Structure 1
Amino acid sequence: MITLDTGRRAAAAAAADRLSAALITPPAVDYGDDYSPRSPRWHDQSLSKGAAGVAILHGLRAQHGLADPAPVHAWLASAARDDLSAGPPSAGQVGAGLWFGAPAVAFALHTAAPGAYPHDMAALDASVAQLVETRLAAAHDRIDAGQRPSQYEFDLTRGLTGLGAYLLHRDPGGHLVRRVVAYLVRLTEPVDADDEAGPGAPGWWTRDSSAHDRDPAFAQGEANFGVAHGIPGPLAFLALALRHGVVVDGQEAALDRICRWLENWRQQGPAGPWWPERITVHELHAHRTRQDRPLRPSWCYGTPGLARAQQLAALALNDPVRQAAAEDAFARCLCDPAQQGSLTDPALCHGRAGLLATTWHAAADASTPALAIHIPRLLDQLLDDARHTPSEALPGLIEGTAGIALTLHTLATGISPGWSACLLLT
């Protein structure tokens, strides 16, 4: 049980009230005839930057008796005012996934207003199911052909891990979530690909890399260590599925396979264990990373998100040794002034809200109070951020004000009913 003093809870509640009040009404914006892929009009159907994420904030506050439900419906309407993206990635289109398009709006509707729009919910569920079927077929065809995956095949934001997280949140007993788990088990197995990465590369070695544009060393792909885009996301999802009773052949072996990979790439520094953000093919073959120190301790990249994923895996596997190692890495990161000082962003994805939310959830499952003791300090830092959040900040959940407000609301109330599933924290 995590306890906070009355004063801090009250301060968190007041800050959440203030930030939420600034997001009562969706902005009246005319995007004209700009329907290009980069048009800001598409932000509305995003958990990251737009209306779908804001609806979750207002919905949960209304469910807890702290706000009027009217803003929930206004933001949901804003999220669905344009045609929802519902297809897989294609040329010029990144495709729909948990954080964008029909799955994002489905997650928002189910979380913010459960039971309120049954016909819309049914249509969204059907759209997500069709998308999952299409993505699973393509993924298995790719594996059968001995090819490497793209990042968006399996990641949390647009890939099958995120779609699986939605299904686990919405329908944990359904057949589709079991099929996603079975696919992710296959993902952890080696691929017989004829490329520079070679047979020693893991099955999740991607042929693409978001770092390629700024570093040609990633031309042959990468192994990504971030929760949003790398293998910690599938690790957390497979563990959460197992803890929810969703079990398929090879699942525990897949969890162990990923854990051993992360253990092999764990670095040891003066402030404790850490992991690289990503590795190149040359680093893979050299068994050595160019990164010489831990970077920012965020949920997305950094020790906190990685440690939470490994903690979840240890809990699912009933492995107290791995659980202790994950929690020790997390706690030592929280004690390191250099890592803590590198956070400059207040948001969930890369900032202090994400660090606090990750710490809070991990502390609730921890075997010692070594994580919980940091929560008051982390909350104080986020409260200071909240006092200086500009009115023009992004409104969204993952990257914006709604995520900061919802984290503060969670700390004030002591409950986290479902929203953190989009980060694979629960």
Structure 2
Amino acid sequence: MVRCLARVWARASRMYDRALPRGGRALSRGERENGGTMESRSVGKVTDDEVLRLAREVADRLLESAGDAAGKADLADGAPGIALALRYAAEVFDDSRYFTAGRIHLRRTAEASATAPLQAPGLYLGTAGVVWAVTEYARMEPRYLPTLATMTDRLARQTLAITLHTAAGSVASHDYDVIGGAAGWLAALLKAADVLGGRATDAVGQATDRLVDYLVELTRDDGGPLRWFCAPSHFPSIPGPDGEPTPLPGYVKNFPDGVYNLGFAHGPPGILAALSRPDIAEAPGSTADPVAGSAAGTTDSESGSADPAAARPHRVRQGVRALARTLDALRIDGLDYPAWANLLLPHPDSRRPDTGAAQVPARSAWCYGPPGVAASLLSASSACGDPEPTDLAVATLLGLERTPAEQQRVNSPTLCHGLAGLVTVYGRAAAQTGVPELFHMHERFLSRMCSFADEDHPYLFPDYDPWGKQEHSAGLLNGAAGVLLALLGAVSEAAAGWDELLFLTPRLPRADAPRADAPGGAGAETRQDRGMGET
């Protein structure tokens, strides 16, 4: 089990590493051709027909071959992610070939997991990701419901078997994060339970309640180190020479006293997003016992109830508000736009986040940086009915235009740390807020992403590592499947719902009209649902 988790975290650690600041990297071809920064790339506005043509081309290439991804059982870069992308391609293009191919990838997932069973429950690296993909197919074909029920019960039992620590210094980022931790597990369980209805087992309800209480506990601030502080003993690790987990050398060197992670993928924005789901922030849970040490059993001051289930929604909203305020307080001072670092050092005396230490803004991406934080704040605002997180989120997203190119570090068209992620973040933000300038920024990111299409690339859209080296991946987070989903979501309101995977919360109905007080003025153009069935 330890060796398996070490292998899983070797892959998760590469995701951490890709998002951290780098120096002296080579430039990608697009950067070399455009004066050294991707931000200087000048492209015209892409049309809907062009977006659909590119999406069709990517889907067709994934039909032909998914390369090494076809043999992997994880959502991040394996067959489940490709199955998910093809399922939405089938819906947008009304083409059963894509749905059939997606089903084949689900079967390959089952075969791969039979050969090498998924020992970890993670959303992007384990069982929860398979549950997510099967849930999407079960929504369209009831034949998948028995399989979904079995897999969801397995996921629930996996999470129930894991000890959940809540004391500061005993918590690792991968215990609670989106990629491999509790935030991702919770979102997958809730999504599956919604589709399963009465088929969901008691274990599913017990697991979801336990995870909600655990994540709420992590939002508590008792005046000492924050609960999600990661001590060196819990750093992400890779297999050492003896095969046992060894902390990443870069973390040990740069953060000898521990670290606070601020990214959506591995930090508290993911907790915020998971707790902002309407099925927990607005509805009571079951009567399962809360995680030991939580405040779930205390009398709720507003509801007056000692029942954990009855008190849970109020406590969730309290936790969401508290964590949103914490993120606001951890912004970098001295900038004329809101921004956050990748990681914060603990203060040498208090071990609380040291906001007075020198900080460098994180790259502009979903995984780390202002866009991902803003996405979580939008979800929090909806969950609590508070306007302040939305105002901060909008200011953050608009501030990207004033962020220097060297700080943005966007050198890829892909999802995790590239333009596909920005297209999706800004698409949801524009639809939710009605702010015209967010819509225009979404359009510009979409055009820039499309400009990376390369007919010579096996999947049309390459990925680039932090040094500008071109990589070939069919997968979801760093490959063609993620770009395909971003393309489809940009031109179809139905397909836009895929972004629940990225933000952990379902997409809200579109804002009725642009905000009159927003930059760009009232009455600015807003993207409507194309209803595109075919090109």
Partners of 1:341 and 1:147 in 2: CA distance = 31
Q: Does 1:234 align with 2:271?
A: yes
Partners of 1:45 and 1:298 in 2: CA distance = 25
Question: Deviations for 1:369-417, whole angstroms, at most 9, x for unmatched residues?
Answer: 2311212211110111133672172111111100001110111223336
* Contact preservation (8 Å) 2:344, 2:353: no
Structure 2 match to 1:346: 413
Partners of 1:367 and 1:414 in 2: CA distance = 15
Q: Which amino acid aligns with 1:184?
A: L
Matched residue of 1:18: which SS? helix
Q: Which amino acid aligns with 2:180?
A: R
Among candidates 308, 322, 325, match of residue 260 of structure 1: 325
Partners of 2:172 and 2:124 in 1: CA distance = 17
* Contact preservation (8 Å) 2:137, 2:144: no
Partners of 2:171 and 2:108 in 1: CA distance = 34
Range moving further from structure 2, 75-84 or 331-340 = 331-340
Structure 1 match to 2:488: 409
Question: Deviations for 1:5-56, whole angstroms, at most 9, x for unmatched residues?
Answer: 9962111111111111111045576xxxxxxxxxx89x61111111110000
Partners of 1:270 and 1:79 in 2: CA distance = 46
Would the alpha carbon gap of residues 134 and 418 (structure 1) be closer, same or farther in structure 2, given more than 3 Å must change?
farther
Matched residue of 1:57: which SS? helix
Question: Deviations for 1:177-202, whole angstroms, at most 9, x for unmatched residues?
Answer: 333212111122258xxxxxxx6211
Matched residue of 2:429: which SS? helix
Deviation at 1:340, TM superposition (A): 7.8
Partners of 1:327 and 1:71 in 2: CA distance = 39
Partners of 1:341 and 1:255 in 2: CA distance = 28
Range moving further from structure 2, 149-158 or 386-395 = 386-395
Structure 2 match to 1:36: none
Would the alpha carbon gap of residues 341 and 239 (structure 1) be closer, same or farther in structure 2, given more than 3 Å must change?
closer
Matched residue of 2:338: which SS? strand
* Contact preservation (8 Å) 1:10, 1:412: no
Among candidates 160, 166, 186, match of residue 182 of structure 2: 160
Among candidates 159, 165, 183, match of residue 132 of structure 1: 159
* Contact preservation (8 Å) 2:126, 2:180: no
Partners of 2:105 and 2:87 in 1: CA distance = 10
- Could you list the runs of 5+ residues in structure 1 that have no partner in the other structure? 30-39, 88-94, 192-198
Would the alpha carbon gap of residues 27 and 12 (structure 1) be closer, same or farther in structure 2, given more than 3 Å must change?
closer
Q: Which amino acid aligns with 1:229?
A: H
Partners of 1:186 and 1:389 in 2: CA distance = 50
Deviation at 1:116, TM superposition (A): 3.3
Deviation at 1:315, TM superposition (A): 2.0
Structure 1 match to 2:212: 181
Deviation at 1:271, TM superposition (A): 4.9
Structure 1 match to 2:110: 80
Q: Which amino acid aligns with 2:215?
A: L
Structure 2 match to 1:213: 249
Q: Does 1:45 align with 2:73?
A: yes
Would the alpha carbon gap of residues 246 and 389 (structure 1) be closer, same or farther in structure 2, given more than 3 Å must change?
farther
Deviation at 1:81, TM superposition (A): 1.5
* Contact preservation (8 Å) 1:212, 1:219: no
CA-atom RMSD in angstroms: 2.8
Among candidates 9, 12, 22, match of residue 51 of structure 2: 12
Q: Does 1:169 align with 2:191?
A: yes
Would the alpha carbon gap of residues 362 and 160 (structure 1) be closer, same or farther in structure 2, given more than 3 Å must change?
same
Structure 1 match to 2:428: 361
Structure 1 match to 2:131: 106
Would the alpha carbon gap of residues 339 and 165 (structure 1) be closer, same or farther in structure 2, given more than 3 Å must change?
farther
Deviation at 1:241, TM superposition (A): 3.7
Matched residue of 2:426: which SS? helix
Structure 1 match to 2:378: 311
Structure 1 match to 2:439: 372
Partners of 2:60 and 2:353 in 1: CA distance = 53
Matched residue of 1:272: which SS? coil
Would the alpha carbon gap of residues 243 and 331 (structure 1) be closer, same or farther in structure 2, given more than 3 Å must change?
farther
Structure 2 match to 1:419: 498
Deviation at 1:224, TM superposition (A): 0.7
* Contact preservation (8 Å) 1:239, 1:313: yes
Matched residue of 1:214: which SS? helix
Deviation at 1:155, TM superposition (A): 0.7
Structure 2 match to 1:203: 227
| Matching of residues 51-66 of structure 1 within 5 Å | 51-64=79-92, 65-66=94-95
Among candidates 449, 461, 485, match of residue 382 of structure 1: 449
Structure 1 match to 2:148: 121
* Contact preservation (8 Å) 1:19, 1:386: no
* Contact preservation (8 Å) 1:168, 1:241: no
Matched residue of 1:21: which SS? helix
* Contact preservation (8 Å) 2:67, 2:474: no
Partners of 2:417 and 2:66 in 1: CA distance = 25
Count of residues in correspondence between the two structures: 391
Deviation at 1:234, TM superposition (A): 0.5
Partners of 1:245 and 1:113 in 2: CA distance = 25
Would the alpha carbon gap of residues 339 and 308 (structure 1) be closer, same or farther in structure 2, given more than 3 Å must change?
farther
Range moving further from structure 2, 248-257 or 399-408 = 248-257
Question: Deviations for 1:306-345, whole angstroms, at most 9, x for unmatched residues?
Answer: 0111121122211113311221111111453526862001
- Could you list the runs of 5+ residues in structure 2 that have no partner in the other structure? 1-43, 198-203, 237-246, 285-311, 460-471, 506-535
* Contact preservation (8 Å) 1:61, 1:67: no
Would the alpha carbon gap of residues 282 and 7 (structure 1) be closer, same or farther in structure 2, given more than 3 Å must change?
closer
Matched residue of 1:171: which SS? helix
Fraction of identical pairs, as percent? 26
Q: Which amino acid aligns with 1:252?
A: R
Question: Deviations for 1:115-155, whole angstroms, at most 9, x for unmatched residues?
Answer: 233332222112111112123xx11xx33x77621122111
Would the alpha carbon gap of residues 386 and 425 (structure 1) be closer, same or farther in structure 2, given more than 3 Å must change?
farther
Q: Which amino acid aligns with 1:98?
A: L
* Contact preservation (8 Å) 1:86, 1:127: no
Range moving further from structure 2, 230-239 or 108-117 = 108-117
Deviation at 1:85, TM superposition (A): 3.8
The structure with the largest alpha-carbon Rg is: 2
TM-score normalised by L of structure 2: 0.67
Partners of 2:354 and 2:341 in 1: CA distance = 14
Q: Which amino acid aligns with 1:15?
A: L
Structure 2 match to 1:148: 170
Q: Which amino acid aligns with 2:184?
A: G
Would the alpha carbon gap of residues 341 and 224 (structure 1) be closer, same or farther in structure 2, given more than 3 Å must change?
closer
Would the alpha carbon gap of residues 265 and 373 (structure 1) be closer, same or farther in structure 2, given more than 3 Å must change?
same
Matched residue of 2:63: which SS? coil
